[in-house]
Structure 1
Amino acid sequence: MPGSFTARLMNLEATSKETFRFSATLHNAAPRPVIYNFSAAAPSGWNLMFRVDGMQVTSFRADSGRTQEVSIELTPAPEAKPGKYTVPVHAVSNTDTLLLQLEAVVKGAYAMELTTPNGLLSGEITEGSRKAIHLTVKNTGTLPLDAVEVSAQAPSKWDATFEPAKIERIEPGKSVDVVANLNVPDKTIAGDYVTTFTARNNSVNASAMFRMTVTTSLLAGWIGVVIILAAIAIIYLLIKKYGRR
């Protein structure tokens, strides 16, 4: 008498970033113990494993009349496109071959990444000047991204504009370059400042923190030196004039 290989739920739905976990039942109806070897025809790039009592296995010895719970874990390939995938699963013994047809429905997922072309998130700028920062908006999901807007949260009185400020569409796996023009006002105190760039649409958003080191201009430095020297000269003259009295 052949055994049986069944699942409570034959069809599961998840995104390509999740693992499909099927709960199956294997029953040995033979009058003797049987060793079953597990195998599956998963799509290319997918990963599949079988677990019995929490342990990963490739085969299992079932006593006569025994029913055993088997967990089947199916992980899609990262680039798996949305759709329905049929996965035949077999439990094979010396006497029979048990077939279980599973279905994994991959849902589309929104995901976005905001970075720079070289991955560097820091730079240097002179106070009172403008700097072009090159950003990259990547679609790391499986669905297109529409109407993506780019914005910035900058220090007080700083100004940022973008080219382009709005991206009509980014296909999965593609990226779009954006230039952020950052304006630093005059008389900004030298030091490190953080600007947070954000790309978002109605479904997802991504941010990147950019650290900018502000330096004073050469002219401002010379003016400061002149002022200091003038102050020293005035003090010297005052001491020379009144110090003798």
Structure 2
Amino acid sequence: DFPAVTETAGSSFTLDVSLANHGVPPKRIALALEGLPDGWTYEFDGDGKPIRAAMVGPGQTRDITVKITPAKEAAKKAYQLTLTGTGADEKLSLPLDVTLAAPAPAALKLEAKLPALRGSAKSNFDYDLTVKNDSPQDVTVNLAARAPAGFDTTFKEQYGSQELTSVPIKANQSKDLKLSVKPPQDVPAGQYKVLVGMNSGKAQAETPVVLDITGQPQLALVGPGGMLSGSAIAGKEHTFSVTVNNNGGAVAKAVKLSADAPSGWKVDFDPAKVDQIPPGGKAKAEMRITPASNAIAGDYSVNVDADGDGASDDLKFRVTVETSTAWGFAGLGVIGVAVLVMAGAVTRYGRR
């Protein structure tokens, strides 16, 4: 296909040729390569096997590969060779120009398909990479990524799950890889660069990738005066103040307040929903708790939740329930009546 080529000195190379029969009876064609300098060798291959001749029927074409091995000390210059095919009554020839040149220096090329990705600190930052061994020798390429402190980086094959630290690449071939970068959950919004590096010992390549991290809300619930407990009377409403802080780097939106309390209790909030809380801001709400009227004195747990778009928090609020004083007075009244009944009984029957 290419009768004039440049090849690397000191290495074997191949040439692909075709032998076609344009409508004449089948012929046996003996193959040869003429004009080889001393110390050079050659071989013909057909269908993966060494051959010395080919038989081609009418309208048929045979694909043949010529493998040429120059002498180790062959000079780096141009050579004129002739490929011949000899039949019973004819001889075919194809001039070949072969130039031997110094080996190309080892080189690596590295590209990222999408070098900049955007998302929150919880997003997946996966970069598709292609590394090419642009040299005549097979190499093993070491993989590295220099990222900001706290960022985790891993290399994998494009469609594999095995983590890699190095990868073999054949001469003049490419390999598709994937770099996954995981930022810290509390990283501030901003752009962060990761420098991806490949090194084969004789060649290296680098390319940067960028994480454009958007802020995200981070909710924190705080009880009244920073406390996580309070007291209430059975059957009576008591109000506690709660605060929702946004410690994140983005607006917290549609924050809803809710609670999980013991059976028979009533808990509601005013307001029950906050449209938005800016970064570094806070919102206050009144939590109204009414223990069940038959609640026994003691400590109870109320789970308070704040849920917004992409952020949430919860706290356990301990409520110490005290019984109503009315019940205390009723109890004293019962005790007093019992004492009077007993005294009357003693007066009436005590002397018998």
TM-score norm. by structure 1 comes to 0.69
Which of 105, 121, 132 does residue 27 from structure 1 map onto? 132
Task: Work out the number of aligned pairs and report it.
Answer: 243
Q: Which residue of 1 is the match for residue 296 of structure 2?
A: 190
CA pair 8-180 structure 1, distance change in 2 beyond 3 A: same
Which of 206, 215, 228 does residue 108 from structure 1 map onto? 215
Shift of 1:94: 1.9
Deviations 1:118-150 (A, max 9, x none): 997555433377766464423243214479786
Shift of 1:166: 9.3
CA pair 166-51 structure 1, distance change in 2 beyond 3 A: closer
Q: Residue 110 of structure 2: SS of its match in structure 1?
A: strand
Shift of 1:236: 7.8
Q: Which residue of 2 is the match for residue 87 of structure 1?
A: 194
Q: Residue 90 of structure 1: SS of its match in structure 2?
A: strand
The yes-or-no answer on 1:14 pairing with 2:14 is: no
Residue 126 of structure 1 aligns with an amino acid whose one-letter code is: I
Shift of 1:161: 7.2
Structure 1 runs not aligned, ≥5 long: none
CA pair 185-239 structure 1, distance change in 2 beyond 3 A: farther
Preserved CA contact (<8 Å) 2:265 2:289:
no
Which shows bigger deviation, 37-46 or 179-188?
179-188
The yes-or-no answer on 1:40 pairing with 2:145 is: yes
**Aligned residues with identical type, % of pairs:** 25
d(CA) in 1 for partners of 2:189 and 2:110? 28
Deviations 1:10-53 (A, max 9, x none): 22221012231112222223222322222233233322222244
Residue 212 of structure 1 aligns with an amino acid whose one-letter code is: V
Structure 2 runs not aligned, ≥5 long: 1-105
Q: Which residue of 2 is the match for residue 141 of structure 1?
A: 248
Shift of 1:100: 2.1
Q: Which residue of 1 is the match for residue 330 of structure 2?
A: 223
CA pair 215-26 structure 1, distance change in 2 beyond 3 A: same
d(CA) in 2 for partners of 1:55 and 1:182? 54
d(CA) in 2 for partners of 1:27 and 1:123? 67
d(CA) in 1 for partners of 2:131 and 2:315? 50
CA pair 120-35 structure 1, distance change in 2 beyond 3 A: farther
d(CA) in 1 for partners of 2:328 and 2:151? 62
Shift of 1:75: 1.4
Residue 76 of structure 1 aligns with an amino acid whose one-letter code is: P
The yes-or-no answer on 1:210 pairing with 2:317 is: yes
CA pair 79-201 structure 1, distance change in 2 beyond 3 A: closer
Deviations 1:204-236 (A, max 9, x none): 665545352422146633531431451464488
Preserved CA contact (<8 Å) 2:252 2:276:
yes
Q: Which residue of 1 is the match for residue 155 of structure 2?
A: 50
d(CA) in 2 for partners of 1:17 and 1:201? 16
d(CA) in 1 for partners of 2:232 and 2:122? 40
Which shows bigger deviation, 66-75 or 151-160?
151-160
Q: Which residue of 1 is the match for residue 176 of structure 2?
A: 69
d(CA) in 1 for partners of 2:214 and 2:221? 23
